[in-house]
Amino acid sequence: MFEFLPLGRILKTTNPPAVEKSSAPLRFGVVGASRIAPDAVIKPVRCHADTLILAVAARSERRAQSYAQKWRIPKFYGGQNAYQDLIDNPDIDVVYIGLPNALHYEWTMKALAAGKHVLCDKPIADNEEETQRMFALAQEKNLVLLEAWQPRFHPALHRVKAIIDEGSLGKIVKMYAHFGLWGDLQFKKDDIRYNYGLGGGALMDLGPYPLNIMRYLSSSEPTVLSAEATCRSENVDRRMEVHMTFAESIPATVIVDFALEGWGPLKLLPQWLKLVFRVECENGVVEYFNYALPSLYHYITITTKDGKSRVEKVYKPAEGKGEEWWSAYRYELEAFVDKVRGREPQVWRTAEDSINSMRIIDAAYTKACFAPRSRRTH
C-alpha cells in the first residue's frame, strides 16, 4: 500500500505555503524551543492568515537565538527568566507551551494569569487535579485553553466515527490498539520521556492517542480494570498494557511501548513503528492505520462479516473548512482561532474531555502500582 504514497501532498503538508497575514492577526509566543513546535504551531501558523509567531523563549539564549533565526521568528528570549519575559510581553495574545510534561501546569497557569490564551501540548498536565485547576483558571479569566491533541481535529477520525455511528456494522463489541516505537535507538537514556520528574512514561507520551480515540468512538468513559508495566526506571513505564471496559461492557486493550522487539526469528530486524487500531462490531471490523499522524498517510479498512472489504482515506471534510494538504495541527489551529475569535469551531475538545483523559491515565498508573505523575503543592 505504501507504493501509492501521495508524495506531492505530503511535501505540502510538511512544508505548507506562507500566506498573507490579516491586518491584526493573533500573535503567538512559543514557550520552549522544542522539536514539536515547528509541526505543532510554527508551520500551521505560516499558512493561517489570522495568526503570527511573534516570539520564542528558551532557557539557553544561544538556542533561542538560533531557533528564532531558523524559523524566522522576529523576537527571542533567552536565559533563566525567558519564559516569564515572553509571557509578560503585552503584544502576545496566545502562548503555545511545548515544554516537558511536568512544566505544562506551571507555565499554563502563569500564562493564563497574565491574560493569555493557551495552546498546550498533550498531555496537558501531570494528573487530573492539575488539569482541573488549569481549566478552572481559564474559565475564571474568560480565556481559551486547549490541549493540543491533534488527531481529534482531523477528518479521518471523524469519518471512522461516522462509519461506526451509521449503524450498518452494529454495535461495538471490542476495541484494541497498539502504539509502539523501536525506542531504544530513537531515545537516549537521558531522554525526558524516561524522566519521572519531568512527567515521563510511555503511557503519558503515547497513551493519549489510543485512549482518546476509544473514548471518542464509543462516546463513553472507561473503567480501568488492570494495567501492567515494564519499567525503564523507577515509576517510569517503558511499556504499558491497559485493560478497560467501556459503556455496555465493551472490553478494550491499549498497549504502548517505547522499545518494540525486532522482527524475525532472532528479533534482529528493526520494527520501527507499530500503529494498530481495531474496532470490532457485531457485523464487521474497522481498522484505522496511522491514527497518530493521519495527515501524512492513513487508511481506514472496513471489513463486513461476509468478508467484503473497502478502504477509505479522508484528508478533507465533506463540508466546512479544510484542504487536502492541511495537517491535523493545521485543523487544530483553525478550531483554536475560531474559538478565540468568538466563532463556533467545526470541532472542539472540551475541558471535560481533557480532564477525563488525565483521570484514565491516573487510574492506569494506580492499577500498575506506579506513583502518579507528580502531585506538587499548588
From the list 122, 161, 305, 321, the catalytic residue is 122
Q: Residue 182 has what DSSP assignment?
A: B
| Residue at 208: amino acid letter | P
- Cα–Cα distance measured from residue 147 to residue 153, given in angstroms and rounded to the nearest whole number: 12
Q: Residue 133 has what DSSP assignment?
A: H
Q: Residue 269 has what DSSP assignment?
A: B
Pairing of strands 75-78, 51-58: parallel
Q: Residues near 355 by Cβ (< 8 Å), separated by ≥ 6?
A: 128, 131, 132, 135
What one-character-per-residue DSSP string does 57-110 give?
A: EESSHHHHHHHHHHTT-SEEEESTTHHHHHHH-TT--EEEE-S-GGGHHHHHHH
Angle of the 155-166 helix axis to the 208-218 helix axis, nearest 10: 40
Strands across the sheet containing 250-257: 223-233, 236-246, 250-257, 172-181, 273-281, 284-289, 299-304, 309-312
Calculate the alpha carbon distances from 248 to 165, 173, 232, 243, 359 in Å.
Answer: 15, 9, 35, 15, 20
Active site residue 122: yes
Q: Using an 8 Å Cβ cutoff, are 75 and 29 in contact?
A: no
Cell of 295: 495527515
Active site residues: 122
